[in-house]
Amino acid sequence: MSPPTPSAAISPPSEIRLGMVYSATSKKRGDVMRYLGAGLALSAGLFFTAGSAIAQDVDGVQEHPMIERYPGQEIQWQKIENYMPYEIAIGPVTGYRKIDDWIETQGRVTRTFYALEGEERTYSEVYLNYLEALKAQDFEILAEGIVPDRKGTGPGTNNWIGVAYAANPITEQGPQNSLFAGTSSSGGAGSIVARKERASGTAYIVLTVEQHSSSYIGTLIDIIEVEAAETGLVIVDAEAIGSDITEYGRVVLDGIVFDFDSATLLPASDQALANIAAFLDANPDKQFYVVGHTDSVGTFSYNYGLSGDRARAVVEALKDTHGISHDRLEPFGVGPLAPLFSNTEESGRDKNRRVELVERQPER
């Protein structure tokens, strides 16, 4: 029986350790032990695989638990910044050293360069395994491209790679810079930009794989972790409500804050309620459900009742303070039945405790 095709695997993020800034660079390229067989499992608990265990990594590095390496790769350079700005290119090159579409963000940035030596695998195999692993773990692919001759303007081309990484330069010398310098036997390249919304904040992955020579494949993976906003500091506005209702038919009413374990609205909710009322006044023909949600701590019957009470409290506040008719708003509670994230950690439970506005179609 032939061995299974190896694949990159993604694991859930572990707890982030703060206050760490370091870099490390490999002084060698040879003597990598090649992984010859078993594939990697897409397993929630599997952070290190047979492939990663035998790789000859440079001293002082730690593989990020969010994404596992392709079998046989070794880490030759890594740099971790607890906080730094990062510009993410998501569009093609549109002019001389110019890309129009960017996401500007900041957070903890982990930059890791992997080398894969030997002629058993190609850059396209490595690229496609990473791409499929990201999709399997529900990452949204914002940009992707694989280009055998690296010509053109999209992701994976020399033009795109040069502009995208110039915005986030690597200032240290080392093997990681091979990504930007070809050889007589250089082959194609591919780039992926992906995003995932997590309870602990948004995560972006910017990944480029290149066939540096006939026997050497380089992969640079940048992981940008944006911390979630502190609860109560984000307030939904009328424009955001309209945008989400149009696209999704529902919107989370950020900024609605209740007293602990009760349906009593706190004064901090006043601005959000005013913004919701402004949206409703601007759309007088629309009707909505106001839906309360809880986490799963406690009994179902208690959470179900609390979610309904909170939905009714929002409807009453909009009626009494802002003159919104009861006929347009129908409160419901669903308790813990529709979580956005896992309830196993507080960050997820915090996101699951929410009130949503859901568009209601008129009865016929």
- Domain chopping of the chain, boundaries: 22-225, 238-360
pLDDT tens, position by position, 42-53? 333 323 333 444
pTM, whole model, 2 decimals? 0.60
pLDDT tens, position by position, 188-243? 999 999 999 887 789 999 999 999 999 999 999 999 999 755 444 567 788 889 88
Q: Highest mean pLDDT range out of 6-10, 26-30, 60-64, 331-335?
A: 331-335
pLDDT for the residue numbered 180: 82
Give phi and psi for 57, each to the nearest 5: -75, 155
Residue keyed to tokens 């540096």: 212
* Cβ 349 vs Cβ 343: under 8 Å: yes
Give the 3-state secondary structure percentages of the chain, helix then strand then coil, rounded to 5. 25, 30, 45
| Interatomic CA distance for residues 203 and 109, integer angstroms | 10
Taking phi first (over 0 means left), then psi (-120 to 50 degrees means alpha), and beta for anything else, what does residue 174 get?
left
Taking phi first (over 0 means left), then psi (-120 to 50 degrees means alpha), and beta for anything else, what does residue 187 get?
beta
* Sheet with strand 22-25: strands edge to edge: 22-25, 74-89, 102-117, 216-225, 201-213, 189-198, 140-147
- Give residue 346's pLDDT band: very low, low, confident or very high (50, 70, 90): confident
Q: Which CATH number fits domain 238-360: 3.30.1330.60, 3.40.710.10, 3.50.30.30, 3.40.50.300?
A: 3.30.1330.60
pLDDT for the residue numbered 93: 97
* Average pLDDT estimate for 94-103: 95
Query: Which residues, listed in sequence order, are joined to residue 354 by a DSSP beta bridge?
Result: 293
Query: Which range among 1-10, 131-140, 154-163, 265-274 shows the weakest confidence by mean pLDDT?
Result: 1-10
Question: What's at 26, amino acid-wise?
Answer: S
Contacts of 153 (CB under 8 A, 6+ apart): 92, 93, 94, 159, 160
pLDDT for the residue numbered 103: 96
pLDDT tens, position by position, 154-168? 999 999 999 999 999
Query: Taking 60 as the threshold, does the pLDDT of residue 327 lie above it?
Result: yes
Q: Is 130 exposed, middle or buried (0-12, 13-18, 19+ CB in 10 A)?
A: buried
Query: Taking 60 as the threshold, does the pLDDT of residue 41 lie above it?
Result: no
Query: Taking 60 as the threshold, does the pLDDT of residue 298 lie above it?
Result: yes
| Interatomic CA distance for residues 26 and 3, integer angstroms | 30
The four Cα atoms 84, 90, 93, 96 give a dihedral, to 10 degrees, of -20
pLDDT tens, position by position, 2-34? 333 444 544 433 332 222 332 344 333 332 222
Joined tokens for residue 146 = 């694989």
pLDDT for the residue numbered 234: 64
Residue keyed to tokens 């948004």: 202
Taking phi first (over 0 means left), then psi (-120 to 50 degrees means alpha), and beta for anything else, what does residue 255 get?
left
